[in-house]
Amino acid sequence: MTPGIAALFDAALAAKARAYVPYSKFHVGAALLAPSGCIYAGCNVENAAYPVGNCAEASAIAAMILAGETRIVEALVVGDGAGLCTPCGGCRQRLREFAEPGVAVHVAGDEGLRRSFTVEELLPASFGPDNLTS
């Protein structure tokens, strides 16, 4: 793991520990690196009205926006289970709003990095902010 990925991993893992998941029991943490060098983290937050729950990526994006940043240069998601906790479809689009197609999205488990993707790999031929301005 590079030092940059390790910093994202540490932040995401700490966020994952705070996940509010009484229904799925599936803990997820996400961390986003912004151009300033700051890392913004978030966890999933479920709700008794299931569809109202938030994914970890959405929580991390909210923290980033609250801090006044709007660009993601690298991202990492860590989730429970043996499988790859890749961002859900909605979160791929959420990430795309603030990340160029070439941005790396790392997927980890508690033990460390499992696999790295780009935004373009996760969401090919995406619709993004540029579609509305050109």
Residues that bind ligand THU (CB under 6 A): 21, 24, 26, 28, 44, 46, 53, 55-57, 87-88, 91
Q: Which is nearer to ligand THU, 33 or 92 (CB)?
A: 92
Q: What residues have CB less than 8 Å from 121, skipping those under 6 apart?
A: none
Rounded to the nearest whole angstrom, what is the least distance from the CB of residue 103 to ligand THU in the complex? 16
**Can you tell me the distance from the alpha carbon of 11 to that of 5, in angstroms, rounded to the nearest whole number?**
10
Q: Which is nearer to ligand THU, 19 or 34 (CB)?
A: 19
Q: How many CA atoms lie within 13 A of 67 on its CB side?
A: 20
Q: Which is nearer to ligand THU, 28 or 108 (CB)?
A: 28
Structure token pair of residue 2: 């590079």
Q: Which residues are catalytic?
A: 57
